[in-house]
């Protein structure tokens, strides 16, 4: 635990990550472009740095927990970028939901400065970060992964788990593909439940039957109940959902692989974004389909359009 850790981003995920590591005895300093976030960190007993460069200068491991690819690239590069202040021998550990193409360029830049790179985009939300039950799509050179293994273990990673790939960009590929499958199931499951109801099934009873079918899945078990309850799962903004799907769609176009389903899933989430605005909710494409069907699957749940939150 002797390595000095800098956490760049003290927001929805960065704050619980920082607090947990601090409670577990790690030497943690945080920075964020939002002064209000820094004030909260100081009130919670965490040391802060005024900017990413100052943070990196006093860190052996720099963790980025930022909203997306643009924010990560801007924080790390340029004249005042954090990568330029991280000393040779340091490690950049990326928790951001990132674009693998951007990550590839950043890994090259880091290597040119003698800095190692590990990608560990997260599985789970703020509650998992606080409880130490996060999962990671881990990728990086084994020696560099070992340098950060204590951090990952404190946050929930099983130290015996296999590293996904040695190329950090591929960790982000894995997360994007997994999320695309998840968002695709939002569409597919909602559509079949709406169809079943129209043909006479009670949605909850049909859901129970599907759990015993060859089409059963982790999504049906863990997340379809939220659709039935009218819970939009507000841990992630709809704008970021669309951003991730558009990244996957561009990757598929560039790779020349079939992507008709990815295109459809992306289009429906874009339409949900146009309808509801950039509010929090990973299941709002389900709400869009329910509106088009005439009423929600749980008829006693008010339309999510009536309970929208402010855009962030």
Largest CA distance in the chain: 65
Strand order from edge to edge, sheet including 116-119:
27-31, 4-8, 61-64, 91-94, 116-119, 139-140
Look at strands 135-136 and 122-123 and give their pairing: antiparallel
Burial class (CB in 10 A: 0-12, 13-18, 19+), 241: buried
User: What token pair was written down for 265?
Assistant: 């899933």
Catalytic annotation present for 175: yes
Cβ count within 10 A of residue 145 = 21
For residue 51, give Cα distances in angstroms to 10, 31, 118, 266. 12, 6, 22, 35
| Catalytic-role residue among 19, 157, 172, 175 | 175
Active site residues: 175
């Amino acid at each position: 635990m002797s390595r000095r850790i800098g956490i760049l981003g003290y927001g929805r995920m960065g704050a619980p990550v920082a607090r947990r590591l601090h409670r577990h005895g790690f030497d943690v300093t945080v920075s964020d472009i939002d002064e209000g976030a820094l004030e909260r960190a100081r009130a919670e007993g965490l040391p802060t740095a005024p900017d990413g460069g100052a943070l990196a200068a006093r860190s052996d491991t720099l963790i980025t927990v930022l909203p997306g690819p643009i924010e990560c690239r801007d924080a790390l590069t340029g004249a005042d970028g954090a990568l330029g202040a991280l000393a040779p021998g340091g490690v950049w550990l990326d928790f951001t939901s990132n674009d693998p193409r951007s990550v590839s360029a950043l890994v090259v830049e880091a290597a040119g400065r003698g800095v190692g790179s590990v990608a560990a985009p997260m599985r789970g939300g703020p509650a998992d970060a606080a409880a130490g039950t996060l999962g990671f799509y881990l990728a990086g050179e084994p020696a560099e992964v070992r340098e950060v293994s204590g951090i990952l273990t404190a946050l929930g990673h099983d130290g015996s788990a296999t590293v996904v790939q040695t190329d950090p960009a591929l960790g982000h590929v894995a997360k994007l593909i997994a999320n695309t499958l998840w968002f695709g199931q939002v569409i597919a499951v909602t559509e079949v439940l709406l169809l079943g109801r129209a043909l006479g099934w009670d949605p909850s009873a049909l859901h129970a039957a599907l759990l015993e079918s060859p089409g059963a899945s982790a999504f049906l078990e863990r997340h379809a109940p939220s659709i039935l309850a009218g819970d939009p799962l507000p841990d992630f903004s709809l704008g970021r959902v669309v951003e991730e799907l558009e990244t996957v769609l561009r990757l598929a176009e560039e790779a020349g692989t079939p992507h008709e389903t990815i295109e459809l899933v992306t289009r429906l989430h874009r339409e949900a974004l146009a309808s509801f605005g950039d509010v929090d909710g990973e299941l709002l494409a389900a709400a869009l389909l329910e509106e088009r069907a005439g009423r929600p699957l749980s008829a006693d749940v008010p339309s999510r359009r009536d309970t929208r939150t402010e855009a962030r």
